[in-house]
Structure 1
Amino acid sequence: MNVVFGWQLVAVLVLLVAAAAAVVGVGRIGSWRPVVTAAARAVAQLAAVSLVIVLVLKSGWLTAGFVLLMFSIAAWTSARRITKARHSRWAAVPIAGGVAPILALLLATRVVPTHPIAVIPIAGILIGGAMTATSLAGRRALDELVSRRGEYEAALALGLRTADAARLIVRPTAGQALVPALDQTRTVGLVTLPGTFVGILLGGGSPVQAGATQLLVLVALLAIEAVAVLITVELVAARKLRPVELP
């Protein structure tokens, strides 16, 4: 199945973006500008990737460089979401800590072929999951420190170290960052047919191959995101991933 490219596609995309922006603006649930900006960036980025990916797939070194680029952008995005700063190197630690060992395991055991055409999409999915978990865990931890600042300061007054006091506040709610991954895994095949499954079917693979690959991706994401959330919470507690205005 292929989407037909033409004026109809362009018209539908413009209509959908306009509808989303209108709902956000009229409903006063945020600004319409981020919706339009995100859509415009998606167009530009996918166009660029479509051109670059042809060259990248011809070289193992270019593939490694492309994966590193995806990782760098993910770390930059999480840093901006958590600390509002775009240069926090600490945001890269949870993503790398979750993705690196799992991706290495998948490639070393040849569960995922080492061909560029297999490595890039799998690495992208895993890095994206780690990025989302890191951002969610970091923002939730900081929100807890702000809303429960009195409890945090009381713990400090009782003699707890800064990191220990922060852990008491942020750890109980850290698991909420795993809710999207857990819900996706619980409902796969019943509510949703994820992209990996559909992509393999559309590419001519068997339903068994599609199911096995999707299961691998979902379970790997659970492991990666669990590690990323734990590391993020520890970094927030250790004051490595906090805006300067927070104690």
Structure 2
Amino acid sequence: MSTVATPGVGLAIVCVVLVAGAAVVYRVARLGPVRTAPAAAARAIVQLAAVASVLAVALAHLWSALLVLLVMFVAAVVTAARRSAAGWSGAWLVLSLSAGAIAALLPMLVSGVVPMTGVAVVPVGGIILGGSMTATSLAARRALDALRIGHGEFEAALSLGFTDRDARWEVVIRTAGDALLPGVDQTRTVGLVTLPGAFVGVLLASGSAVQAAAVQVLVLLGLLLAQSVAVAVTVELISRGWIQRITVLSTDRKAIV
């Protein structure tokens, strides 16, 4: 007997109840527009239905699975760039995500711990990309905020003989730890506070608890490396001035901060 939820009337009713409950809370507590939860739920259903349809075919072949992973990578870069509020210069975050993903996935694939099959590469790669995207966008946003707020510190460093790169680095490096904190906390508290998706997924797929723990450890340690590399590259790009925040001053003028 399957231990996972299967499509049907029961699942549909429970989902409607959950969404309606969230909408009521939004209304009563005035958390925001009541349509927020239903709109998000509808979007999730459409997206997951489309993804499920594509993956059912794509995971059967390695080349099509890698194509899916490439699409996920592009989406991660676009999302991270948008969240950084750096305009077109945010496109340089492709280097951050590439470096993080390669650093984590390459040893997994070369060693054979993660087999070169679509059903293995896409889930693991997707988790690595998702975690790297979150850390990268957070690192970029915090670092650019620090440069804007700490402009005086930047000018002071320049007056002491620092190069532009080193002066920026002194300001932004203090924000790097904040971007890595969620991933580090997740690793520290796994099994005590939370049971992450990879662990639960293996259990629901009828795997043993030992197998689930092994997969989860692999994913978490891969995320630690991927996020560390991605954040380090992001800080370096911002320190070199390749990524800058563009603030609109008027209808026809912009300032680069």
Residues 124 and 152 (structure 1), Cα distance of their counterparts in 2 relative to 1, 3 Å cut = same
Which runs of 5 or more structure 1 residues have no equivalent in the other structure? none
Choose the corresponding residue for 2:51, options 42, 46, 49. 49
Residues 38 and 139 (structure 1), Cα distance of their counterparts in 2 relative to 1, 3 Å cut = farther
SS state at 1:160 partner: coil
Choose the corresponding residue for 1:169, options 171, 182, 186. 171
Q: Which amino acid aligns with 1:71?
A: F
Residues 205 and 175 (structure 1), Cα distance of their counterparts in 2 relative to 1, 3 Å cut = same
Choose the corresponding residue for 1:203, options 205, 210, 233. 205
Residues 19 and 128 (structure 1), Cα distance of their counterparts in 2 relative to 1, 3 Å cut = farther
Residues 171 and 87 (structure 1), Cα distance of their counterparts in 2 relative to 1, 3 Å cut = closer
Alignment pair present for 1:246 and 2:239: no
Q: Per-residue CA shift, 1:17-52, capped at 9, x if unaligned?
A: 4146447x724xx77776555433322211110111
- The residue aligned with 1:18 is 23
Give TM-score, length-normalised by structure 1. Answer: 0.91
Q: Which amino acid aligns with 1:14?
A: V
Alpha-carbon contact 2:27-2:33 (below 8 Å) kept? no
Alignment pair present for 1:103 and 2:108: no
User: Percent of counterpart pairs with the same letter?
Assistant: 45
1:107-122 → structure 2 map (5 Å cutoff)? 107-122=109-124
Q: Which amino acid aligns with 1:49?
A: V
Q: Which amino acid aligns with 2:19?
A: V
SS state at 1:193 partner: coil
Alpha-carbon contact 1:76-1:87 (below 8 Å) kept? no
CA distance in 1, matches of 2:115, 2:242: 36
Moved more, 175-184 or 151-160: 151-160
SS state at 2:115 partner: coil
Task: Give the total of aligned pairs.
Answer: 244
Residues 13 and 47 (structure 1), Cα distance of their counterparts in 2 relative to 1, 3 Å cut = farther
Residues 155 and 212 (structure 1), Cα distance of their counterparts in 2 relative to 1, 3 Å cut = same
Residues 36 and 162 (structure 1), Cα distance of their counterparts in 2 relative to 1, 3 Å cut = farther
Q: Per-residue CA shift, 1:126-145, capped at 9, x if unaligned?
A: 00011011011111101111
CA distance in 1, matches of 2:115, 2:24: 41
Moved more, 112-121 or 13-22: 13-22
Cα RMSD (Å) of the superposition?
Answer: 2.1
Alignment pair present for 1:8 and 2:4: no
Deviation at 1:88, TM superposition (A): 3.6
CA distance in 1, matches of 2:139, 2:39: 25
SS state at 2:154 partner: helix
Q: Which amino acid aligns with 1:15?
A: A
Deviation at 1:160, TM superposition (A): 2.1
Alpha-carbon contact 1:129-1:221 (below 8 Å) kept? yes
Residues 82 and 107 (structure 1), Cα distance of their counterparts in 2 relative to 1, 3 Å cut = same
SS state at 1:15 partner: helix
Give TM-score, length-normalised by structure 2. Answer: 0.87
Alpha-carbon contact 1:56-1:63 (below 8 Å) kept? yes
Choose the corresponding residue for 1:227, options 221, 226, 229. 229
Deviation at 1:239, TM superposition (A): 1.4
Q: Per-residue CA shift, 1:128-165, capped at 9, x if unaligned?
A: 01101101111110111111111112222333222111
Residues 89 and 33 (structure 1), Cα distance of their counterparts in 2 relative to 1, 3 Å cut = farther
CA distance in 2, matches of 1:171, 1:141: 8
